[in-house]
């Protein structure tokens, strides 16, 4: 077995470890608000997220992925064998940081971990010029944009629900009136997100006007159906506030399921992209900008995500779902809507947003709608510190592993 074969097999382990951490940390965010609002139990969330993420990763995940994650470094100026060792070091470093964060129950961005690790390795292997600093600047900008944008949307949605439903005298009738509107808006968001965020949707290459038209037609059909549905969910207009929460509970489960499926399709590349790069170098001793990803690697990533959320997903779910602020079903729906809207809008503007940052921002925004005392800023402060440390720690860890492997193997 030569050094190429050795690193290929090692990269399969590192890729699985990264996918495991994706499931345990990133994916747990998709179910956190539903669990926190008690729409579903932790066991149900683990089952739903595990199945939908595996399906998203294997059946909707991209079969062609950028080998050098997010174009953060110029790989052509680095020797392929050095690059292979560096990608393995970066993958391992990112996985270690996300695992440590998960064990302390704090949500961090796996995308930023991978990016930081690759940047650190790239600086050592090819110098400062090899890093795309403009791209790095965009990532730093996203630390500010995504949580605040999601917080603003979550704040606005919950404030609307509270003002026009919960604070009204006949709130069951108001829920029947406004719930179809929010269901229709959510469906249009999901349709646009599917068309512009998932690999299958992108391959359709639909013009913006056509996509918008499809979303509007489906939203109108959904609105008509939801009016009948809302009346059946709450038949007694004299029922208390629990009737309103029941309507939003069902809506919230639906949005959480979509986020889980979408995450599987999009985030599996974070774990499998570097593995595909190492596979290419091990096989042909060259590295191209993009690589075909074998279905077996997508299955490896999908299994890793499912196992990760099964074993450790409850830790981050507990933090995001219940420790920042107390969530009910109406608040949880506002969180899901805020996070999903932010990811969709920012991604289409070309901003590298983090689903983790958007989810936490939306939770804080919904909490602030009830006042500053409703948010635990000590928990939030710890989360923000971990966000700020993610890129430098992943980069330093990657550099140490990279130098050690070079000393051992070259």
- pLDDT tens for residues 95-149? 999 999 999 999 998 888 988 998 999 999 888 888 888 878 877 777 778 899 9
CA 58 to chain centre: 17
Contact 398, 89 (CB under 8 A): yes
pLDDT value of position 57 = 73
Phi, psi of 301 (to 5 degrees): -65, -40
Q: What is the DSSP letter of 129?
A: G
Cα–Cα distance list, 129 to 70, 87, 124, 290 (Å)? 16, 18, 11, 21
Q: Say whether pLDDT at 69 is over 60.
A: no
* Average pLDDT, rounded, for the chain: 84
Higher pLDDT, 101 or 77: 101
pLDDT value of position 92 = 93
pLDDT value of position 126 = 85
pLDDT value of position 266 = 66
Nearest to 40, CA basis, from 397, 347, 313: 313
Rounded to a whole number of angstroms, the distance between the first and last alpha carbons of the chain is 15
Considering only 177-186, 248-257, 330-339, which range has the smallest mean pLDDT? 248-257
Q: Say whether pLDDT at 62 is over 80.
A: no
CA distance 247 to 179: 7
Nearest to 139, CA basis, from 62, 74, 71: 71
pLDDT value of position 65 = 56
Higher pLDDT, 70 or 177: 177
Q: pLDDT, tens digit, for every residue of 298-328?
A: 888 888 888 998 899 888 888 988 899 998 8
CA distance 14 to 117: 13
Q: Say whether pLDDT at 386 is over 90.
A: yes
pLDDT value of position 357 = 87
- Residue 213 structure tokens: 């038209």
CA distance 164 to 167: 6
pLDDT value of position 395 = 94
Phi, psi of 354 (to 5 degrees): -105, 130
User: Residue 66: which pLDDT band, with cuts at 50, 70 and 90?
Assistant: low
- Exposure string of 101-133, with b = 16+ CB inside 10 Å and e = fewer, is bbeebbbbbbbbbbbbbbbbbbbbbbeeebbbe
The mean pLDDT of 11-35, rounded to a whole number, is 86
pLDDT value of position 350 = 62
Looking at the chain, the whole-number percentage of residues with pLDDT higher than 90 is 26
Cβ-in-10-Å burial (0-12, 13-18, 19+) of 254 comes to: middle
Q: Say whether pLDDT at 53 is over 70.
A: yes
Spatial neighbors of 182 by CB under 8 A, at least 6 apart, are: 157, 161, 251, 333, 337
The mean pLDDT of 187-204, rounded to a whole number, is 77
- Residue 143 structure tokens: 């630390």
Residue with tokens 């599996």: 268
Q: What is the DSSP letter of 2?
A: -
CA distance 213 to 211: 5
CA distance 277 to 280: 5
pLDDT value of position 156 = 94
C-alpha radius of gyration, the chain, whole number: 22
Spatial neighbors of 313 by CB under 8 A, at least 6 apart, are: 23, 24, 27, 28, 31, 45, 46, 49
Q: Say whether pLDDT at 28 is over 60.
A: yes
Contact 325, 377 (CB under 8 A): no
Contact 124, 399 (CB under 8 A): yes
User: Residue 253: which pLDDT band, with cuts at 50, 70 and 90?
Assistant: confident
The mean pLDDT of 377-388, rounded to a whole number, is 93
The mean pLDDT of 57-77, rounded to a whole number, is 65
User: Residue 75: which pLDDT band, with cuts at 50, 70 and 90?
Assistant: confident
Q: In a 3-state reduction of DSSP, which class is residue 66?
A: strand
pLDDT value of position 355 = 79
Looking at the chain, the whole-number percentage of residues with pLDDT higher than 70 is 92
User: Residue 385: which pLDDT band, with cuts at 50, 70 and 90?
Assistant: very high
Cα–Cα distance list, 180 to 135, 166, 185, 223, 228 (Å)? 40, 16, 8, 5, 9
pLDDT value of position 260 = 74
pLDDT value of position 349 = 67
The mean pLDDT of 188-216, rounded to a whole number, is 80
The mean pLDDT of 235-258, rounded to a whole number, is 81
pLDDT value of position 148 = 92
Q: Say whether pLDDT at 89 is over 70.
A: yes
pLDDT value of position 348 = 65
Cβ-in-10-Å burial (0-12, 13-18, 19+) of 185 comes to: middle
pLDDT value of position 158 = 93
Q: Say whether pLDDT at 43 is over 90.
A: no
Nearest to 68, CA basis, from 7, 126, 122: 122
Contact 75, 356 (CB under 8 A): no
């Amino acid at each position: 077995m030569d050094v190429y074969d050795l690193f290929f097999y090692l990269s399969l382990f590192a890729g699985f470890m990264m996918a495991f951490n994706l499931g345990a940390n990133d994916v747990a965010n998709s179910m956190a608000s539903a669990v926190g609002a008690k729409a579903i139990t932790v066991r149900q969330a683990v089952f739903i997220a595990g199945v939908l993420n595996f399906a998203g990763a294997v059946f909707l995940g991209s079969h062609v992925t950028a080998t050098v994650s997010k174009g953060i470094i110029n790989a052509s100026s680095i020797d392929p064998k050095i690059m292979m060792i560096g990608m393995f070091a970066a993958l391992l470093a990112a996985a270690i940081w996300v695992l440590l964060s998960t064990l302390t129950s704090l949500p961090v961005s796996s995308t930023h971990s991978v990016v930081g690790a690759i940047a650190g390795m790239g600086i050592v292997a090819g110098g400062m010029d090899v890093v795309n600093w403009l791209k790095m600047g965009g990532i730093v900008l996203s630390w500010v944009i995504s949580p605040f944008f999601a917080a603003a949307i979550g704040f606005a949605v919950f404030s609307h629900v509270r003002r026009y439903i919960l604070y009204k005298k006949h709130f069951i009738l108001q829920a029947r009136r406004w719930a179809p509107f929010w269901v229709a808006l959510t469906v249009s968001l999901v349709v646009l997100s599917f068309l512009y965020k998932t690999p299958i949707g992108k391959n359709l290459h639909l013009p913006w006007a056509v996509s918008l038209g499809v979303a509007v037609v489906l939203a109108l059909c959904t609105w008509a159906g939801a009016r009948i549905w809302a009346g059946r969910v709450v038949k007694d207009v004299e029922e208390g506030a629990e009737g309103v929460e029941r309507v939003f509970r069902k809506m919230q489960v639906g949005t959480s399921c979509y986020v889980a499926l979408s995450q599987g399709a999009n985030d599996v590349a974070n774990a499998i992209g570097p593995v595909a790069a190492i596979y290419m170098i091990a096989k042909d001793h060259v590295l191209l900008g993009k690589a075909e990803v074998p279905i077996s690697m997508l299955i490896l990533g999908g299994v890793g995500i499912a196992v990760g959320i099964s074993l450790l997903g409850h830790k981050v779910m507990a933090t995001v779902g219940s420790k920042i602020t107390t969530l009910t079903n109406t608040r949880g729906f506002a969180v899901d809507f805020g996070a999903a809207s932010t990811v969709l809008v920012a991604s289409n503007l070309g901003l590298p947003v983090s689903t983790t940052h958007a989810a936490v921002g939306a939770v804080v925004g919904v909490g602030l709608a009830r006042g500053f005392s409703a948010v635990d800023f000590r928990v939030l402060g710890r989360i923000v510190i971990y966000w700020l440390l993610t890129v430098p720690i992943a980069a330093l860890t990657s550099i140490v592993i990279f130098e050690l492997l070079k000393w051992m193997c070259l």
